[in-house]
């Protein structure tokens, strides 16, 4: 009976993979091609007693996300990510007086800015929002291999680390009603 109610309910709409937006600081949302969603892992601690092994939940950790973007001429995303790296504390080793280094504080505060991944419904309203806490860039692939025989667009792939992600459903983040 529950299955019949589900399929006869016109408001039951599954989340679709192609309905999403990703806001990364001031990077245009239209440049984002793909993004992985947050993933949490719970470490398993084992305790052996005589002939038995008992498992206990340990610490929670969050996997990095990967984002693929199309690299337009304007704005130049390669330069945008390189500038974020420099704001994080990286300096070119041009002489022996260069001694600064990257720090987490600078990377989080001045690197990319806030990151919000939204899955949206057919009307463009958020049905799920992930807020990445303390995000910073782990790696940037500025386009891989160039190829004379390809007309593909240049893509930038970015791996982003974060401490944890908060999930808000529906319009909860903007103070609106939450879908049940």
pLDDT at 13: 81
pTM: 0.84
Are 118 and 104 within 8 A, CB to CB?
no
100 token code pair: 């600064």
Is residue 72 in a domain? Answer: yes
pLDDT at 135: 96
The rounded distance, in Å, linking the Cα atoms of 38 and 65 is 6
Is residue 128 in a domain? Answer: yes
pLDDT digits (tens, 9 = 90+) for 17-32: 999 999 998 899 999 9
- Provide the domain limits for residue 30: 11-173
Is residue 25 in a domain? Answer: yes
Is residue 163 in a domain? Answer: yes
Cis? peptide before 143, omega within 30° of 0 = no
Are 70 and 153 within 8 A, CB to CB?
yes
Is residue 2 in a domain? Answer: no
pLDDT at 178: 46
Q: What is the DSSP string of 54-121?
A: EEEEEEEEEPPEEEEEE--TTTTHHHHHHHHHHHTT-----STT------HHHIIIIIS--EEEEEE-
Which ranges of the chain have pLDDT less than 50? 1, 173, 175, 178-180
CATH number (domain holding residue 72): 2.30.110
CB atoms within 10 A of CB 115: 23
pLDDT at 180: 40
Is residue 114 in a domain? Answer: yes
Are 20 and 36 within 8 A, CB to CB?
no
Is residue 179 in a domain? Answer: no
Number of domains in the chain: 1
Is residue 36 in a domain? Answer: yes
């Amino acid at each position: 009976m529950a299955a019949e109610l589900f399929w006869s309910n016109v408001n039951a709409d599954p989340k679709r993979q192609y309905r999403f937006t990703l806001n990364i600081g001031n990077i245009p949302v239209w440049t984002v091609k793909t993004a992985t969603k947050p993933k949490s892992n719970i470490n398993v601690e084992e305790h052996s007693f005589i002939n038995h092994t008992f498992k206990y939940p340990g610490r929670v950790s969050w996997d990095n996300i990967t984002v693929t973007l199309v690299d337009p001429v304007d704005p130049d995303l390669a330069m945008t990510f390189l500038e974020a790296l420099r704001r994080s504390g990286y300096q070119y080793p041009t002489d022996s007086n260069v001694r600064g280094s990257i720090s987490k504080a600078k990377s989080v505060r001045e690197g990319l800015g806030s990151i919000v991944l939204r899955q949206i419904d057919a009307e463009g309203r958020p049905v799920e929002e992930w807020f990445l806490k303390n995000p910073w860039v782990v790696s940037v692939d500025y386009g891989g291999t160039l190829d004379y025989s390809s007309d593909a667009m240049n893509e930038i792939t970015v791996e982003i680390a974060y401490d944890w992600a908060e999930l808000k459903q529906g319009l909860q983040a903007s103070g609106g009603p939450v879908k049940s």
